[in-house]
Amino acid sequence: MSDTRPTVLSMKDVTLAFGPKVIQKNITLDVKKGSIFAVMGGSGCGKSTLLKSMIGLLRPTAGEYLVDGDRYWDGSEAERTELNHRFGVLFQSGALWSSMTIGENVALPLQMFTDLKPDVIRRLVELKLGFVGMLQAIDLQPSEISGGMRKRAGLARAIALDPDVLFFDEPSAGLDPITSARLDDLILNLRDGLGATIVIVSHELSSLFHIADDGIFLDAKTKIPIAHGSPRDLRDHCDEPQVHAFMHRERDEEGRN
Amino acid sequence: MARTGNIPSFPGNGLDSAPAGSTLAFDTRATTRWDTGLIAFLWDVKRVGHDRHITLDTQSLPAPMRQLLDLLPDVPADKPAPRKKRLPFLETIGTHTLDGLTEIGTVAGLGAMTVKGGFLALTGRSRMRFVDLLTDTTNAGPYALLIVGIVNFLVGAILAFVGAVELQKFAAGIYVASLVGIAMVREMAAVMTAIIMAGRTGGSYAARISTMQGNEEIDALNVFGIPTSTYLILPAVLSLVITMPFLYLYGCLVGMLGGFVVAISMLDITAAGYFHQTVTSFGIGQFIFAFIKSIVFGAFIGLTSCRIGLKAGRSAADVGIAATRAVVVGIVGVIAIDAIFAVIADVVGI
């Protein structure tokens, strides 16, 4: 492993817990600039929780989390908000603000955090919606569009501020294979085009093999990460039975009850 | 580019000097840092070029720019036609009238279904869950005692204050007891309690049901064939129908207590005198009449708030609108029904 790219996000011995209930411990990871980093694992292993702590919604109970070398959780709330402006997040069901049109959803971060004039914002909104192929839906309400379109609109909102790091929570959940494959291509295009780093939580194997080049595998039973590496490497070279079963869609014989 | 606050737009005639069919290449050697503002500009160029049949040599762009630009369409998307057309005046009136009539029909139908569900519940053949009824009744009853008590106590006290000042002038201070007694029993206790319940419980029912609507929970009920009338509306309406009369009784008592406290402290009246004057001031007929009135208020608030919740849209803002509308319709409706009852009382001579 001689990855010379600079590290954007890094966790050292992080423990995540809700009160006394530990979700995951000993999480150590490095996300390199420009990589697509996959957070993998079975249901209920804490993938989404890890993502939550990365975007500042859940403070780890132990360990440290560095964003570009800065200790994220040591800063004040204002500093964290500043760092969060470099993040774009696509939530599982899009999480579009339901009282605004699609265009207004994408425009809101630009209105709140830049001094751009309304016509410039309008052009940028059209541009971001154009990237995801949603230009025709700019004046529609979130309730009027399908689940896949809601995801793409959420993606347009996530890239509204030209983020350095993009987080995806189950981007292909609930999408048909064709839409999901298109979304994967879109993610790759945006990564290359925007030069962004991407962290993706998923258990959609085909999509993981297609796009991710690094990753971490969380185990639900032992509550620690049991493997590091790209999904393809883990599929071909990992001996850990849990990981093997996950990557090859095997039934977990003993772990069923 | 975008961070500096402006993206220059590319003029529509910017490529007029170039002949159709020619190729436009870019020189980006001097570009070191850029953001998507640049792509917005290039997109303009691409669209103008498309109109003029000029090919863009995207190979001359750095790979990331090319990749982003390739995602964008050449032509502006067809905007869907604006949906809302202004209707002529008469059509508007007609539409509103039909909507109003439909709404009355729907609420009446809902009421009929609920009454039917109620009879089935009485004979033990309904599938209403008594746990729901118990929860709703607890929320609408015991939990509302404090606020209903405070408001009715203050109303009674205010009536006594106002009455005492005037009646004292005629040395008729004892009639404060009659004033408070009649006012509370005939109108104030029932109306004030209903207004509180419309704001408190009606609003919460509307919000709850419209949130369920947004989560597709209502759809799930319908698919299973669980009738919303017995599962959702019946417990909500029954809870108010059960608790409102009791809250009315309680409101009467607390209101009279409020009047008593003020009268005793302001006027030269004995406690026994006040009590005696109160009891003789109103007849049992008035009491029963208001008792029935409070039941009607309860049914009205329960039905309209559930109906408004069921009718609501699916967004977060719609939940707020539904809750507001339930409260407004509840309060206005209660006062309107009270006026009807006043006329009826006059006719039958109570």
Confidence label for A219 from pLDDT (cuts 50, 70 and 90)? confident
State the pLDDT at residue A220: 79
Q: How far is B162 from chain A (nearest CA, A)?
A: 47
Q: Is A195 helix (H, G, I), strand (E, B) or coil?
A: coil
**Check: complex ipTM more than 0.90:** no
Q: Which of A213, A202, A84, A85 is nearest to A151 (CA)?
A: A202
pLDDT of B341 reads 94
Identify the pLDDT of residue A252.
52
Question: Could you give the CA distance from residue B295 to residue B249 in angstroms, rounded to a whole number?
Answer: 12
Least Cα distance to B112 among B327, B310, B307, B322 occurs for B307
Q: Does A136 have pLDDT greater than 60?
A: yes
- CB-based contact B6 A99, cutoff 8 Å: no
Is B219 exposed, middle or buried, given 0-12, 13-18 or 19+ CB atoms closer than 10 A?
A: exposed
Q: Which amino acid is at B39?
A: I
What is the DSSP annotation of B163-204? HHHHHHHTT-TTHHHHHHHHHIIIIIHHHHHHHHHIIIIIHH
- Biggest CA–CA distance in chain B, Å, is 107
Q: Which residue has the tokens 């360990």?
A: A63
Give pLDDT, residue B2. 45
Which residue, chain included where needed, has tokens 């005629």? Answer: B170
The predicted structure's pLDDT at residue B33: 76
- B62 reaches A (C-beta below 8 A): no
The mean per-residue pLDDT over the stretch A8-32 comes to 87
List chain B residues with pLDDT less than 70: 1-5, 76-86, 126-127
B315 touches chain A (CB under 8 A): yes
Interface A-B, measured as beta-carbon pairs within 8 A, has a size of 86
Q: What is the pLDDT of residues A71-110, one digit of tens each?
A: 888 888 888 888 888 888 888 877 888 878 898 999 888 8
With a CB cutoff of 8 Å and minimum separation 6, the contacts of B307 are B106, B107, B110
pLDDT band for A255, please (50, 70, 90 cuts): very low
Q: How far apart are CA A37 and CA A89, in angstroms?
A: 14
Percent of chain A with pLDDT over 90: 2
Residue of B nearest to A117 (CA): B5
Residue B34: closest C-alpha in chain A: A194
Q: What is the pLDDT of residues B152-200, one digit of tens each?
A: 999 999 999 999 988 988 888 899 999 999 999 999 999 999 999 999 9
Tell me which chain A residue has its CA closest to the CA of residue B63.
Answer: A193
In this structure, which amino acid lies at residue A235?
A: R
Contact A189/B at CB under 8 A: yes
3-state helix, strand, coil in chain A (%, to 5): 40, 25, 35
Is the minimum CB–CB distance between B39 and chain A shorter than 8 Å?
yes
Lowest mean pLDDT among A168-172, A253-257, B173-177, B267-271: A253-257
Tokens 């004892």, residue located: B174
Q: Which candidate from A140, A162, A192 shows the least CB-CB separation from B67?
A: A192
Partner A contacted by B344 (CB < 8 A): no
B32–A contact, CB cutoff 8 A: no
CA B136 to chain centre: 18
Nearest-Cα residue of chain B relative to residue A128: B36
